[in-house]
């Protein structure tokens, strides 16, 4: 089922709904939001230190928020969410060598009581503001891994400007 319709130019912003009735009396309702499109005024990117990263190591992440018209976005609110989850690793060109809890048993189905069960994901929230160049940096220190398997770490950083416009960048 596909339905398309055009709203009048003078439609108010907010919430709307469409009610559909079949010829046999069944009725369905679909709710939607009407919002004004705002062209982005800036972009966000994340640069990281060279990996791979091992226990005892650290990773430096630098977010850069830049106006499309040029220049950095100073004093902007930055929120980082960093998530780590168990992963796997195979050295390049050596597919027969695989490290990580789930990668060693790829031929078995996971059961609820198996070693891969349970939530082993961790996350951390960090906050700050961009400097005069539109940058904000964080340092991640890899102190411990329980269980002792490779982990995949993903950083999500959101920047909010003075107009409350928000953009996000990710790096794994």
What mean pLDDT is predicted for residues 18-31? 93
Residues of the chain with pLDDT > 90, as a percent, come to: 52
Q: What is the distance between the alpha carbons of residues 97 and 156, in angstroms, rounded to a whole number?
A: 30
Does pLDDT of 170 surpass 60?
Answer: yes
* pLDDT value of position 73: 95
The mean predicted confidence, pLDDT, of the chain is: 85
Phi, psi of 83 (to 5 degrees): -120, 135
Q: What is the distance between the alpha carbons of residues 37 and 50, in angstroms, rounded to a whole number?
A: 38
* pLDDT value of position 118: 55
Torsion sign (Cα): 141, 144, 150, 156:
negative
* pLDDT value of position 98: 73
Does pLDDT of 82 surpass 80?
Answer: yes
What mean pLDDT is predicted for residues 36-41? 85
Strands (E), the chain: 14-21, 27-34, 42-48, 58-67, 77-86, 122-129, 135-141, 151-160, 166-171
Q: What is the distance between the alpha carbons of residues 71 and 84, in angstroms, rounded to a whole number?
A: 33
Q: What is the distance between the alpha carbons of residues 35 and 11, in angstroms, rounded to a whole number?
A: 10
3-state class (DSSP) for residue 156: strand
Q: What is the distance between the alpha carbons of residues 167 and 160, in angstroms, rounded to a whole number?
A: 7
Instruction: Sort 73 into a burial class: Cβ within 10 Å, 0-12 / 13-18 / 19+.
Output: buried
Q: Which of 149, 148, 134 is nearest to 62 (CA)?
A: 134
Does pLDDT of 119 surpass 80?
Answer: no
* pLDDT value of position 140: 92
Q: What is the pTM of this model?
A: 0.68
What mean pLDDT is predicted for residues 42-50? 94
pLDDT tens by residue, 62-72: 999 999 999 99
């Amino acid at each position: 089922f596909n339905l398309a319709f055009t709203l009048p130019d003078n439609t108010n912003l907010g919430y709307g709904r469409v009610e559909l009735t079949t010829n046999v009396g069944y009725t369905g309702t679909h709710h939607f939001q009407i919002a004004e499109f705002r062209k982005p005024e800036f972009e966000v990117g994340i640069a990281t230190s060279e990996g791979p990263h091992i226990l005892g190591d650290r990773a430096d992440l630098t977010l850069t928020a830049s106006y499309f018209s040029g220049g950095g976005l100073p004093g902007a609110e930055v929120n980082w969410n960093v998530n780590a989850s168990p992963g796997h690793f195979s050295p390049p060109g050596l597919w027969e060598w695989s490290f990580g809890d789930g990668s060693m048993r790829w031929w078995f189905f996971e059961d609820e009581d198996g070693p891969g069960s349970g939530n082993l994901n961790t996350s951390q929230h960090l906050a700050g503001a961009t400097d005069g160049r539109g940058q904000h940096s964080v340092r991640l220190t890899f102190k411990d891994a329980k269980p002792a398997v490779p982990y995949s770490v993903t950083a999500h950083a959101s920047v909010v400007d003075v107009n409350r416009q928000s953009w996000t960048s990710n790096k794994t």
